[in-house]
Chain A
Amino acid sequence: MTGVNTRVGAAAVAAALLLAGCGDSGGDAADGAGSGTVRVVTSALAASVDPMAELSASYLRSVGAAEGLMRIQADGSVAPELAEKVEATSPTVWTARLRPDVTFWKGGAVNAAAVVASMERARAENTLAAGLLKDVTVAASDERTVTFTTKEPAYSLPYALAHYQLVVHNAASYPAGSSGTDLATADLTGPYRITGFESDRQMVLERNDRWWGGTPGLAKVAVRKVADPQARAQIALSGQAEIVQDLPTDRAKELAAAPDMSLVAKPAANTVTVYLNPSSAAAPALADQRVRRALAWGVDRQEVVNLATNGLSVPAPSWLASNPAFPDAANQGYTRFDKATAERLLDEAGWTLGADGKRAKSGKPLTVRLLTFGAEAATGEVLQAQWGRLGIDVQVRNVESSLINQSIETGDWDAVTQAWTTLGDTPKLIAAQIGPDGAANHGRYTDARIPGLLAQAAGAADEAQRTAAVYELNKLVAELAPSIPVHPRVLATGIADTVTGFVAHPLQYENIVQPKMTLG
């Protein structure tokens, strides 16, 4: 009997050993501790080394493995990167003069022909890139000059050229129909070149000695994806990586107090916004602009920031407030918490407070169903409490983004949280919020002033006029209240004290590995 048990046990152990696939002897390229390697932990990683594959270019750029003609700076301005200079020679023609002697990782020249080929491949292979290059003709004028010709005046083209989806790559190196996970095909520019890659798991990069900007500060970078936010926090706290991105805000105090590291929190260039459906059958009150404005005035944004982000974000009184290129937007919209105004507007709209502390009109209670996504669940819960104090019954459900999109498509929604990017081609981004066909204008709000202002923001010859139109549109968004801005998302990064040169950036894909970083 004992013999049988022993045999069964031994067989089980043997089976486990056979199946194990465990080994300490190698293959863990992204560990790399103690050899001058900076270990980076991220919440997401490129699925492909082909920047034109879906959801890859931004991650490649974030680790210093891809560059564009232009780059957006931390202050929101745009500056040349692979281009030496980009200038408008007429309202519809832009010329980009390339830096001399720039090469791809494999040594090919980054000349005008290569840039044109890169742009055309981007246009053909990637929907986002095609959108950025819509109505733009790209041509090589000489060895180092690329000309961009637009149908209409396009003053914000430099921002499009700074977009991560237009990173310059060697189009000839990516064969048609390849999966994009074959490292041998990768040929880009940037301070670091990829030398090890496992799709969606880990990536190893080494210093690119051919980089045009001099010698990059780090010899080697090992990037690993860790999906669980608490595990990322633990990695930062135990010093198992030098850079840990996307840390959970609920552990902010612990992380800020940890020795040998700093918690760098930067409000992102996107605004967590509650979009409202004026056509909702379940919440007809939202059709009334006074109710929507009351909801906006009734948000104590500082309290939301304190409770939902542990104080790491900042209040966003208007949608554009998270865009550092438009600093005055922080003075527009709902710049204070004004409960009295909120109550007055609700009273004027006929939603009166009952003895039970709830507001109702013609016997129907004022209720709103709020769908949130991801980390915005905490924001939703604080809003629920704050609007509850106004007498509004808010039901919050945290769901996956596809359910939010489906609810919007079917029209069965009252309120949803989303956070669209605010920094980039601002006229187009704000048109998406409030334009007649805007992708984020979920409630299809209209106003006679909008088309003219959008045209001015995109096409006025004078920059001051364009800027004024953007601010006016932002003010109009606050006034119409199709949505309620709350706060920017937070980019919380753990940086070991041994790393120097990290500059916090409001764009996530510019916020991890930077060329001037060094390991002390």
Chain B
Amino acid sequence: MPGKNPPSSKSRYSKAQGAGGAEQKLSTHPPDPKAVVAELSPPPFVTATPTTPTPSPVTLAQLRQILERTNARWIAIDNVHPQSNITPHPLGVPSDALLIRASELPSLDFAAILAEFPAANPFVNARRLALRFRTLPLPRIGPAAAAYGGPAVAELSAGIEVGTGRATLVDWRNRWGWSWVTQIKDQDPCESCVAFGTTCVIESMVRIEHAVWCKRSEGDPHDGLGLKCSDGSWPNTYFDWIQSHGICDPDCYPYRTDNPPYNPSWDRAGRTVKIDGYQAIGSLEDQKTWIDAVGPITACIQVYQDFDAYASGVYHHVWGNFRGLHCIAIVGYSDVENCWIVKNSWGSGWGDKGYVKIGYGEVSIDSYAKYGVPHVNPDPWTKRRLHNGNLYESGDGALHRNFEMLATADGSKIRHWWRDNGAPGFPWAQATEFGNDAAVCPTLTGTTFNRNFEAVYLTTGGRLHHWWLDQNTGNWNDGGVFGPSDAFGVPGFIQSNYGGNFDVVVRTADGRLNHWWRDGGGWHDGGRFANNVAFSGASLVQSNYGAQGNFELVCVLNNGKMQHWWRDNDHGLLWNPGPIFGNADGPPCMIQGQFGMGTEDGIGNFELCVAAGGQVHHWWRNNQSDLNWYQSPVFGHDVRAVAGLLEGSFGFDLEVTVLTTDNHLQHYWRDGAGWHEGPVIGPA
């Protein structure tokens, strides 16, 4: 739709351009008295006559004068005093509790809000520093991220803080070379726009705060609230529910339009993104600052007929009847075009591939509070492909991104370490110890069993041992010994989407790989495959190849080469040998990361780290095109084995733990500038 300034008089009865270019009257009937009453309400309805703008009446007596002057027919519903003030409820809003007027909200104390929720995303942090919002602790900001903050960040390194002000253009669909907004969805045919606006905000906040794509189900809060397809709602109603219940992924409970009974999967407690709260934002400046420094927000608008015809440019309401009340997500703004960048929920066939730029102040978009979510706590299922080995990023801690690590200690015990990623300096601390039969560092994960930690390790007796931490008590519990009698390697261990089953693959003494899986009936032998295997590692991943998701792993062969194996979970569950590549001295550790995932449905690259020649070799497989394995720069020193690998909340950084030749655990991490040596954590 070409950008047009709205007419000075927004009369319903003024001539206007139709979609086909022909002038058309909006109404050919005598004024409906009730319609006249509605038009005399507080903004946006301004005038009741075609040519004479009339101030909005304040009292019933004033309203009657206007009605009499226009020869409108009316009936008084209630016997009230003529000097009674007309209750200024905005159209469609029964009370301020449900939708607050933007003008009634105080300015936000961004420094306080962002100090409570400091970012790990280096790009966001660079913006906050540029906006003078100091955050503590001050996470790593590499040269790449500093460039996005502009000169202010560079000068920060010299101890000088300079504010550059709010950005004049923000578009979270493409910021710093990444997309932070999930794809366009369609609420069709339900009046569930609030579900889509609020869910979009949460999906984006998980992506922004924790650097991971996260699909959430609009149906979860919608049906959880007991709403039907024809029911609308309010943003704060949704956010209140989500704050109490979390919001799960679509496979746990899908969006449906047939009013089903609300019946999510049994493991919903471990599949929900949680939020600590949400924020009502009033002034336009605060709203733009929020979008610049935090993320997308929800907004409410009035829908007019010409909205259907929008195709491109900046939308200004010019013609057409009022149709109803709508909720959308604002994913950016432009002070150059004077517009909000809006993600609608009418499918990608509408508008500009599902998006619209709405001019500032149009269709009451700035009349009411907009809502943002400052902080989210993603679930283990969302992050299931992003970690492997003895290192895991949990939702624990004030900022919901602590590192958890398990390592052998004092011979054959297991020691639980954790790193407080909300504290200055990111200190490591020791938690409990358990077990007494560990031969290697465990493979650790978080599961949909109430976000419990689960670990499997090779025992000194050649078996496998399962332990799990109960999030309710904080205690590690013995899950029992299982598996082959001749296990002889680091186990790959995941929770799969086969009903939440556990799957393990471990090398056995005969140089083969043995698959074990656990369902409600216990552990089962899934058979052996491969030959001439020297090392198995924490490299088992259920990728998003195929409908079910293939199992993928990499092992090290007797000749020191690595081999990729994959199980086709859509056709016969057979393991297939993949290419042989590289060199390795120890067990590999592999994840499927976010690199290469342009959207939430993309297939991320495999990232693999393995010890070779006393250093760490980093390999990655290009899952976007040629499916070849490529080696990145070698790093580290005195490395005996790679113990853990994850891609965490620090803006797509890779984090590695290694076992050194003097039996210590050390941390390495990679940002846009390359690999960095971190601290030695402790003995193992």
Are A and B physically bound partners? no
